[in-house]
């Protein structure tokens, strides 16, 4: 595994270290040119993240669940809303640096009013390209779509997980 930071990882470290950006009420990502992308969160979005975190605690195997986990993708640093990774994957990801160049096994994106279907399909593919086995897209009403190579009826990682979460 690489021990030196890529240009993208070094740029991300600068962003993370910038005191003027620390307390922004936004999800921070970058595009392929390293430009900052800021997405404001509604309280509803934050509640869905929390409910998904709790849903994974109940239905996913033992592993690490985290929110807004920075991932270096070919098109910039992206931060899925919720992720799940096995202990082995967590160790492998840590070895690649911060942000990780390898995705957790499961990445979850919560749709916002500002998201387009095209954007979410692109993120889904980016996460898969760097190793995600499964990507969930959660609509604003709490409906969960499960994807690996294609859309599935249920999660392969957390098969007992329902196809919706309370969005109220």
Q: 134-138 and 106-110 as β-strands: parallel, antiparallel, unpaired?
A: parallel
pLDDT in tens, 31-56: 888 887 877 778 888 999 999 999 99
Please tell me the predicted confidence (pLDDT) of residue 4. Answer: 61
pTM comes to: 0.88
Please tell me the predicted confidence (pLDDT) of residue 1. Answer: 44
Average pLDDT value for residue range 59-72: 97
Q: By percentage, how much of the chain surpasses pLDDT 90?
A: 68
Please tell me the predicted confidence (pLDDT) of residue 16. Answer: 84
Average pLDDT value for residue range 14-22: 84
Please tell me the predicted confidence (pLDDT) of residue 167. Answer: 87
Please tell me the predicted confidence (pLDDT) of residue 2. Answer: 47
Please tell me the predicted confidence (pLDDT) of residue 166. Answer: 92
């Amino acid at each position: 595994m690489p021990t030196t930071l890529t240009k993208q990882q070094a740029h991300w470290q600068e962003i993370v270290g910038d005191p003027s950006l620390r307390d922004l009420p936004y999800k921070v990502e970058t595009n392929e040119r390293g430009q900052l992308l800021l997405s404001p969160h509604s309280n509803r979005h934050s509640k869905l993240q929390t409910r998904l975190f709790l849903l994974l605690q109940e239905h996913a195997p033992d592993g690490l669940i985290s929110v807004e986990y920075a991932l270096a993708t070919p098109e910039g640093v992206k931060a899925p809303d919720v992720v799940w990774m096995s202990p082995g994957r967590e160790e492998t990801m840590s070895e690649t640096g911060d942000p990780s160049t390898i995705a957790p096994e499961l990445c979850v994106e919560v749709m916002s009013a500002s998201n387009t279907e095209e954007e979410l399909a692109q993120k889904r593919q980016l996460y898969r390209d760097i190793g995600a086995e499964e990507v969930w897209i959660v609509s604003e009403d709490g409906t969960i779509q499960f994807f690996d190579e294609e859309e599935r009826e249920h999660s392969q990682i957390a098969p007992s997980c329902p196809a919706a979460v309370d969005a109220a």
